[in-house]
Amino acid sequence: MHTSALILFSGGQDSTTCLAHALERYQRVETIAFDYRQRHSVELEARLVVLREIRAQFPQWTHKLGEDHMLDLAVLGAVSETSLTRNTAFKMESTGLPNTFVPGRNLLFMTLAAAVAYRRDLQVIVTGVCETDFSGYPDCRDDTMKAMQLALSLGMDKRFLIETPLMWIDKARTWHMAYQLGGQRLVDLIVEHTHTCYLGDRAHRNAWGYGCGECQACVLRANGFAGFSAAVA
């Protein structure tokens, strides 16, 4: 019986939905994020606001929501030449991956999350990775996560469960999952306080939240919200 979880929580729509999922499901929930000198600290600021709002607006979850962990991963920015950490334009590489791909990033995140979960005695690691409508990052795929679950469990001699609630659903269904977990109040919280835009744009407020409306992350979020809104209307 699993009762405790660590959520990879970036402050975006997906990880906030995963956090709500874990708060419904487990008795003790902690959060973790990594500062690797992202081009914009907007997400890192958004996550603190989201945690505060969840505590304030969802009293049934407040007592379950425990410690927040922030690890400094400046070294990741030092070893990777990608548009997430450098001021270069977004484009597709000849490998078929966008230049936002940081090789091994998610493997590193999962390893460090497991080390924290080990120390904090948390059984489940929840991450919002998705194979369905994102960029096909190979370190976010289901097989990679299954391999990581095995490697981390063996390598730390502790049985971890890696849970990926969003793996097989698209963005419209991610919005719907939030609606099922926390109703319109959670949907409104995600719209207002989570951040997804690659450009760090908090100047433009759209029906689906803040963002430039044009980068890949915004387009996915906007299209998903439109699909969700049409379905519940």
Q: How far apart are CA 179 and CA 188, in angstroms?
A: 9
Element (H, E) at 197: none
Angle between helices 171-193 and 216-232 (to 10 degrees): 100
List binders of Zn ion among 190-229 (CB under 5 A).
197, 199, 211-212, 215, 218
Is 169 a binding residue for Zn ion by CB under 5 A? The answer is no
Q: Which residues does 22 contact at the CB level (< 8 Å), separation at least 6?
A: 5, 7, 29, 124, 126, 163
Number of CB atoms found within 10 A of residue 201's CB: 18
- Provide, rounded to whole angstroms, the least separation between the CB of residue 212 and Zn ion: 3
List binders of Zn ion among 99-118 (CB under 5 A).
none
- Provide, rounded to whole angstroms, the least separation between the CB of residue 204 and Zn ion: 9
List binders of Zn ion among 29-48 (CB under 5 A).
none
- Provide, rounded to whole angstroms, the least separation between the CB of residue 25 and Zn ion: 31
Which residues in this chain contact Zn ion in the complex, by CB under 5 A?
Answer: 197, 199, 211-212, 215, 218
